[in-house]
Amino acid sequence: MQTPSYLKPGDKIGIISTARKISKEKIDQAIRVFENWGLQVEPGKHLFSEDNQYAGTDEQRAADLQSMLDDDKIRAIICARGGYGTARIIDRIDFSRFITNPKWIVGYSDATVLLSHIHSNFSIETMHGIMPLNFPKNPRCSEAILSLKKALFGEPISYRLEPHPFNRKGTCKGIVVGGNLSILYSMNGTSSDINTHNKILFIEDLDEYLYHIDRMMMNLKRSGKLSNLAGLLIGGMTEMNDNKVPFGKPAYEIIAESVTEYSYPVCFGFPAGHILDNRVLIVGREAEMLVDDAVSLVFIP
């Protein structure tokens, strides 16, 4: 795997939206934070465009991403928000300049398409982490923002967690992959699909029906994506929905039952996903995971 250059004060970063529309007011706080880190912020030309629910047409969103990828002065590209739309433009993008001059790509949720496509096709590390839409009013109290700064500027990344009752104990080492479960499910069989063999798979989701969670886990299982993992890491399963006739199990229990036949370590409750404490995971980097009475995840430089 290739690691893009870390940032330093004075570097320029770009903010784009490959998915849903966003207003300038929604990212002003993030811009202030980035500037306080000594970075120059350049919004995409079409960042505040609108086309129904999207941040501009497919052509406009693709043009913003292409421009940022091709601009050697841009050292990191931050996705402003998720929603839906990245899958509509990913096959329009020419990554040839990016391959010769990699830069950090940061996002989560719908940006899972971009992170996974880059991982599977170009073996370049990316960051699953908080996006400008989600920056809190008091960033100094945010572990999510602190982890993003550490990751972008090249500081070591490690986490120590409280144990969860659904955890399965064990230790493992593997490259971290994954992201939003619904997006991973939708990419199955495409050029953006991920290979999970001997990897630590991370999953999270938002606003899904519980039977959808079960269906998606069955898809991962039947397609072989759960059988040969090094380990499984589960983040937020946030604002889950149920039918009038209850499914009968919460999301964590559904996931735990789907991997009972395997022996690798499983960690629930990792602080990442559609939650306030959305800490950075370096997609494509090897990490060591310990799941015991103490739980830790340490990325290996």
Q: Which residues are catalytic?
A: 109, 204, 274
Residue 14, classified by CB atoms within 10 Å of its CB into exposed (0-12), middle (13-18) or buried (19+), is buried
Give me 179's structure tokens.
Answer: 């992201």
CA geometry: angle 272, 89, 278, nearest 5 deg: 10
**Sign of the CA dihedral 174, 176, 181, 182?**
negative
Length of the chain in terms of residues written: 301
- Cβ 126 vs Cβ 105: under 8 Å: yes
Residues 6+ apart with CB under 8 A from 126: 104, 105, 106, 114, 115, 118, 119, 282, 283, 284
Return d(Cα 184, Cα 169) in angstroms, integer. 25
- Cβ 128 vs Cβ 121: under 8 Å: no
H-run or E-run covering 136? none
Strands 266-267 and 74-79: what pairing? unpaired
Please name the residue that has the structure tokens 């990913």: 90
- Cβ 230 vs Cβ 198: under 8 Å: yes
Give me 176's structure tokens.
Answer: 């971290």
